[in-house]
Amino acid sequence: MGALQTLFKRYLRKNLPSYLAGTACLLATNYLSVTIPGQIGAAVDVLTTPEKLSAIQPFVFNIAWMGVAVVVVRSLSRVLFFNPGRDVEYRIRRDLFANLLHLPPAFYATQNRGDIISRASSDITWVRALIGFGGLQSINLVFALSLTLWKMGSISWVLTGITLAPIIVGTVIVQGSIRSWYPMMKKNQEYLADISEHVLESLNGVTTIQGFQAGSAFIRELKLRNKTWFDNNIQLKLVQSSILPLVALAGATSVFLLLYFGGPLLENGTLTVGNIATFIALLAALVPYMRSLGWMLSTWQSGRAAADRVLELLDAEPDHPEGTNGQHLSEGVVPNIKVSGLSFAYPDDPDNNILEDISLDLPAGETLGVFGKTGSGKSTLLRVLSRMYAPKRGMITVDGIDICDLDIYGWRRKLSTVPQRPFLFSDSVKSNIALGDSDDQERLDKAVSLASLTQDLPALPDGLDTIVGERGIMLSGGQRQRVALARGLYQGGELILLDDVLSAVDHENEQRLVKALNNFHERSQPSCLIVSNRISAFRHADQIVVLDNGRVVQRGTHGQLIEEVGLYQDAYLAQKEAGNTDGTAPASSTSSQEAKNG
């Protein structure tokens, strides 16, 4: 079954009555539109016989009520056809978004985000256009075309053949070239995207552009891209504007043929003058329909392509190995985690194991440190633990249950994650921390203070209510990281996962935070997993594992590891030497780029 049929079946059924009623109104509209001119003609005929002028009354009355009726049925037919399209658009978009929210990172890793957004916006619009306007036009066209053809044929099939030939040829040409527009239109979109890209990059780099006075180089580049777009677009416009009126020209050619060959046919008695006049009127009526036929066919075509793309997203499967009835852990109980022989590769590169035979225990209430260089697999370990990526069965158990069998939503409620890349929504600081949760002021204050965010509040125009702008643009990199940290702490889960976030706070506050994490949870001591390449983060860890190339190469406590020759000791000595000293936070832009490799 084609994507379009699937969508129709899934979404349109509810609107079928509306379409049927719309079709009835459309029929009525068409009937009235054809009847009114006849009534006007009859009324005008009355005017030529002055003695019986009162005979005009019924015609006048008919024209007037039919006019009023047209207002009603025409409005209704359009509303009944167009509004279901809007409703379907709404429901498809709603379901699409809901599905997107549940798709795993593995899905997003293989998809271009711009493409996803264009499917959710412009492709859905195409489907809607097809369902609403397209539906109306299609039905209209079928009625009108078959009626006209039947009328023409009943006069003379020969003449119909002769006169239709140019119109058919013209329509085929138009249809063919409309198809050839698509590559050009696509290119046009690409060139526009090139312009956007350049503009965005200039805006993001405006400090450098002004500081280094490089404005003219950037203006030159914009002009270049503008010109590329212009040159392509003017070509497109040339094709478009010369092709579309071609149908009218074809119609005129038909009339020409009629005038040219009509004489002999009239002479040998096959046709009457009236026939010829009717034929001309029918041809004139046909031309606008043929014009919209070209558009219709292309709407169907792009609607079908769009439907394919929409359905693909709509039916993409979330990665839930536990099925519909995953196991729930008891609320408020800190879990015991056991990792045994964990090997893991990302789905898009299955031969490249990022984690190799990792075994570790995280008993309830303990703090585990994971140390390693960039690319050692630290962040991947966290992602597997939070099941952003599901491991193979039998490698990780939580309180004895395989992590793959846990209800995913229940499991994540137990986590407080602070990812390395601090993503903020364009909302207030407060909403970014509580994520729309009902305001628990006390919890909020605690999280804010633990994340050392208190120091930043005076500098923010509205304190916690400051709107942070797109991706938190109003905040500095460090502030962004501290908000993300506060968000994780606010969540108050039983397992705290910190991915290299301690660099967001200065050393004084770092120690305060590490200590506080140990007695943060009100009911019981949460477990804590800290990933970092900063030795200072591990001083209070119960156990530390050192990762290198996805393998555990060392394990022990801070005290043990600094005595043992190896990566940990090297880093310890180097960091003691260079020691980051002051109270500033590093830029997020730098660490966010590492998030992928980490």
Partner 1 sequence: MDKSNRHESFFREVLQLKRLWPFIRTDQWVLWVALLVTPLISMLALTQPYLIKVAIDDHFSKGDFTGLSEVAWMYLGVALGSYVLSVGYALGLSWAGMRMLVRLREWLYERVLSLPLSFFDKRPAGVLLTRLTNDIDALGEVIGAGIVTIVLDILMVAGCLGAMLYLDVELTILMLMCSPILIGLIELVRRQLKNLYLTIRDSIAAVNAYLSEQIDGVEIIQLFGGEDRAEAQFDVRNLKFRNASMESNIYDSLMFALVDGLSSVFIAMLLWYGSGQMGEWLGFEGIQVQSAGLMVAFIDYLNRLLTPVRDISQKMSVIQRALAAVSKIFGLVDEQEPMNLDGVDVPPSKGHIRLSNVRFAYSEQADDVIKGIDLEIKPGQVVAIVGSSGSGKTTLTRILDRSYTGYRGSITLDGVELSTCSIPSLRKQVVAVRQDLQIFSRSLRFNVLLENPDVSIEQAQKAAELTCADGFIGRLGWDKVLRERGGDLSVGEGQLLTFARTMAIDANIVILDEATASVDSVTEAKIQQAIENIFIHKTVIVIAHRLSTIQQADIIVVLEKGRVVEQGSHGELLTLNGRYAELVEAGKAAVG
Stretch of residues binding partner 1 (CB under 8 A), selected from 9-17, 77-85, 152-160, 293-301: 77-85
Angle at the Cα of 291 (from 158 to 79), degrees rounded to 5?
Answer: 120
Considering only residues 506 through 525, tell me which ones interact with partner 1, judged by CB under 8 A.
Answer: 506-508, 510-511
Tell me if 500 contacts partner 1 by CB under 8 A: yes
Tell me if 60 contacts partner 1 by CB under 8 A: yes
Considering only residues 243 through 262, tell me which ones interact with partner 1, judged by CB under 8 A.
Answer: 245-246, 248-249, 252-253, 255-256, 259-260, 262
Residue 520's contacts (CB-CB under 8 Å, 6 or more residues apart) are 450, 489, 492, 496, 526
Q: How far apart are CA 578 and CA 576, in angstroms?
A: 6
How big is the site for partner 1, counted in residues (CB under 8 A)? Answer: 173
- Which of 69, 145, 184, 185 lies at the binding interface for partner 1 (CB under 8 A)? 69
> Would you put residue 471 in left (φ > 0), alpha (ψ -120 to 50) or beta?
left
Return the closest-CA partner of residue 585 out of 488, 486, 474, 503.
503
Q: What would the two tokens of residue 209 be?
A: 């552009």
For 179, what's the count of Cα atoms within 13 Å in the CB-facing half-sphere? 9
Q: Least Å distance between CB 474 and partner 1?
A: 8
Stretch of residues binding partner 1 (CB under 8 A), selected from 9-17, 54-62, 339-347, 520-528: 54-62
- Which of 13, 48, 325, 519 lies at the binding interface for partner 1 (CB under 8 A)? 48
Measured from the CB atom, the residue of 321 and 363 that comes closer to partner 1 is: 321
Tell me if 103 contacts partner 1 by CB under 8 A: yes
Q: Least Å distance between CB 175 and partner 1?
A: 18
Task: Count the Cβ atoms, other than its own, within 10 Å of residue 213.
Answer: 8
Q: Least Å distance between CB 232 and partner 1?
A: 11
Measured from the CB atom, the residue of 154 and 241 that comes closer to partner 1 is: 241
403 phi/psi in degrees, rounded to 5: -60, -25
Q: Least Å distance between CB 305 and partner 1?
A: 20
The secondary element (H helix, E strand) that includes residue 527 is: strand 527-532
Q: What would the two tokens of residue 314 be?
A: 């709509």
Q: Least Å distance between CB 565 and partner 1?
A: 16
Residue 66's contacts (CB-CB under 8 Å, 6 or more residues apart) are 32, 35, 36, 39
Measured from the CB atom, the residue of 132 and 303 that comes closer to partner 1 is: 132
Q: What would the two tokens of residue 508 be?
A: 């004084």
Tell me if 565 contacts partner 1 by CB under 8 A: no
Q: How far apart are CA 325 and CA 328, in angstroms?
A: 9
Measured from the CB atom, the residue of 216 and 330 that comes closer to partner 1 is: 216
Tell me if 489 contacts partner 1 by CB under 8 A: no
Tell me if 75 contacts partner 1 by CB under 8 A: yes
Q: How far apart are CA 190 and CA 2, in angstroms?
A: 28
SS3 346: coil
Beta strand 396-398 pairing with 401-402: antiparallel
Q: Least Å distance between CB 571 and partner 1?
A: 8
Considering only residues 310 through 369, tell me which ones interact with partner 1, judged by CB under 8 A.
Answer: none
Stretch of residues binding partner 1 (CB under 8 A), selected from 49-57, 149-157, 325-333, 517-525: 49-57
Considering only residues 192 through 231, tell me which ones interact with partner 1, judged by CB under 8 A.
Answer: 192, 195-197, 199-220, 222-223, 226-227, 230
- Which of 9, 328, 392, 576 lies at the binding interface for partner 1 (CB under 8 A)? 576
Q: What would the two tokens of residue 112 be?
A: 């271009």
The secondary element (H helix, E strand) that includes residue 396 is: strand 396-398
Tell me if 144 contacts partner 1 by CB under 8 A: no
Measured from the CB atom, the residue of 168 and 284 that comes closer to partner 1 is: 284
Considering only residues 530 through 559, tell me which ones interact with partner 1, judged by CB under 8 A.
Answer: 533-536, 539
Stretch of residues binding partner 1 (CB under 8 A), selected from 39-47, 155-163, 341-349, 440-448: 39-47
Q: How far apart are CA 377 and CA 546, in angstroms?
A: 10
Tell me if 273 contacts partner 1 by CB under 8 A: yes
DSSP state letters, 12-42: IGGGHHHHHHHHHHHHHHHHHHHHHHHHHHH
Measured from the CB atom, the residue of 151 and 507 that comes closer to partner 1 is: 507
Tell me if 466 contacts partner 1 by CB under 8 A: no
Stretch of residues binding partner 1 (CB under 8 A), selected from 342-350, 352-360, 469-477, 542-550: 469-477
Considering only residues 406 through 465, tell me which ones interact with partner 1, judged by CB under 8 A.
Answer: 409, 412-413, 415, 417, 419, 423-426, 435-436, 455-456, 458-459
Q: Least Å distance between CB 45 and partner 1?
A: 7
Considering only residues 276 through 315, tell me which ones interact with partner 1, judged by CB under 8 A.
Answer: 276-277, 280
Task: Count the Cβ atoms, other than its own, within 10 Å of residue 413.
Answer: 15
Stretch of residues binding partner 1 (CB under 8 A), selected from 149-157, 324-332, 392-400, 527-535: 527-535
The secondary element (H helix, E strand) that includes residue 211 is: helix 206-211
Q: How far apart are CA 432 and CA 64, in angstroms?
A: 62
353-362 sheet: strands from edge to edge: 353-362, 337-345, 396-398, 401-402
Q: Rg (Cα) of the chain, in Å, rounded?
A: 36
Measured from the CB atom, the residue of 146 and 204 that comes closer to partner 1 is: 204
Residues 531, 541: contact at Cβ < 8 Å? no
